[in-house]
């Protein structure tokens, strides 16, 4: 493990989960590259910019560095990691979180009755996570202790909002499983983490859209920072490589590491609330 402050890249960190994860890593002294497209308030209907997040990372005790990246453009992603290589020489933690979430994703109706643009989350979300990992890996394989994380949820194993959402989550889990095979000999761990419902702007919009249907979510949410603290604990686990390739449930990892959410809350596992668990990958490897 490097003696210097760990270098993290958190994609899609203008707001929501990415913002919380970045701030949490900053509170543990990390240098955090914050990516996203929002540079000013008018760039999105939702509040939050990469500069605001970077400032919050620094205020939390780390060093926040904002980099404007459109994750649908491979050259911009490549440029991001070239910048990190020039400025830091390495990446210790990559959190793949960027995702093009359409406001109509949670609207009622079958998949063909919703906007086709919903499928964009398979570009900025799934494909973009592969691209970020592709360019980050060369900066991680020689460092002997690195971690790639994919933010996911239980929709990978049951119906949530339609087939695109499920394919995205299942793909994130599968990326973790298979990238772990290639990175095993380089001591780079790869995991996917199921986050719970987040106390963030987008969820509040969902709750407000149909309080009778979604109101209960307000009582079972996690703060966006919660997953960031879980990721930090995983990174520092001396047995991290034994977990590599797995999809883990954030609430269960928090119990393992003694982490509590804001106000001492203990988020509940999907295993208890939804009666589901991540798929287990078979050990067969064909090259």
Catalytic residues, by residue number, are 165
Task: State the Cα–Cα distance between residues 27 and 9, nearest whole angstrom.
Answer: 15
CA distance 50 to 5: 21
Residue 254: closest CA among 223, 278, 276, 233: 233
Dihedral of the alpha carbons of 194, 188, 56, 98, in degrees to the nearest 10: -50
Alpha carbon distance 286, 189 (integer Å): 20
Q: Is 44 helix (H, G, I), strand (E, B) or coil?
A: coil
Give the integer Cα–Cα distance in Å for 13 and 176.
20
**Between the CA of residue 276 and those of 131, 155, 231, 271, what are the distances in Å?**
29, 10, 22, 5
């Amino acid at each position: 493990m490097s003696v210097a402050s760990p270098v993290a890249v958190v994609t899609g960190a203008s707001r929501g989960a990415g913002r919380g994860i970045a701030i949490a890593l900053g509170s543990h002294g990390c240098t955090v590259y914050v990516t996203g497209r929002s540079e000013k308030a008018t760039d999105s209907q939702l509040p939050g910019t990469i500069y605001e997040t970077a400032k919050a990372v620094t205020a939390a005790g780390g060093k926040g560095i904002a980099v404007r990246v459109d994750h649908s453009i491979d050259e911009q992603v490549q440029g991001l990691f070239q910048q990190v290589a020039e400025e830091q020489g390495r990446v210790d933690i990559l959190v793949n979180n960027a995702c093009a979430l359409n406001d109509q994703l949670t609207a009622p109706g079958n998949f063909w009755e919703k906007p086709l643009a919903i499928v964009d989350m398979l570009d900025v979300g799934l494909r973009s996570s592969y691209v970020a990992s592709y360019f980050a890996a060369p900066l991680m394989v020689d460092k002997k202790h690195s971690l790639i994380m994919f933010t996911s949820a239980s929709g990978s194993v049951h119906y949530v909002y339609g087939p695109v959402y499920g394919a995205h989550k299942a793909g994130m889990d599968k990326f973790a499983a298979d990238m772990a095979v290639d990175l095993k000999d380089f001591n780079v761990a790869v995991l996917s983490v199921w986050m719970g419902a987040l106390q963030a702007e987008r969820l509040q919009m969902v709750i407000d859209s149909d309080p009778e249907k979604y109101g209960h979510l307000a009582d079972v949410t996690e703060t966006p920072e919660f997953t960031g603290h879980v990721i930090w604990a995983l990174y520092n686990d001396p047995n991290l490589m034994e977990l590599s390739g797995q999809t883990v449930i954030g609430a269960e990892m928090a119990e393992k590491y003694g982490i509590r959410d804001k106000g001492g809350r203990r988020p509940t596992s999907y295993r208890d609330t939804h009666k589901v668990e991540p798929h287990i990958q078979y050990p067969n490897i064909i090259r």
